[in-house]
Amino acid sequence: MLKVPEKYFHDRLILLILSINTFVALLNTVLILLRLDSTRTDSYIVQYRANLGLSGFEVGSSATFFSFIIFLALMVVGTAILSMRIYPSHRRYGVTMLALGTLVIVLSLIVTNALLVLR
């Protein structure tokens, strides 16, 4: 069982980054769910390969975007758990772990937005 360090949730920087991670993940989830259309099954562009020219667009289903939502949840929870485990020995590394998670979550927001705009 994971023991939460007693000063972990009293650290303002940790709480700020956890709040940012949660907000951006929820924002990304809402934007994905609002842009998905239930009547369209296999008409979403899920990949783009620049080296293939005109046939570089790969079409897929909406399940790909649901996997992005699962990925976001795993990122928020996973970085928080890793940060909690590192925090007692090295505070800076715990903060860095959360900050890198923020970067990955924001990049996921950019990628899903770019793919959903292409329709």
Instruction: State pTM to two decimals.
Output: 0.86
pLDDT computed for residue 4 by the predictor? 83
Q: Decide which of 73 and 7 is more confident.
A: 73
pLDDT at residue 45, rounded to an integer: 79
17: left (phi over 0), alpha (psi -120 to 50) or beta: alpha
pLDDT at 119 over 70: no
Least confident span in 57-66, 74-83, 95-104: 57-66
Confidence of residue 82 (pLDDT cuts 50, 70, 90): very high
Residue 2 has pLDDT above 80, yes or no: no
pLDDT digits (tens, 9 = 90+) for 91-116: 999 999 999 999 999 999 999 998 88
Q: Mean pLDDT over all residues of the chain?
A: 89
Residue 28 is encoded by which pair of tokens? 């990304």
**What local confidence, expressed as pLDDT, does residue 50 receive?**
80
| Predicted local confidence at residue 21, as pLDDT | 97
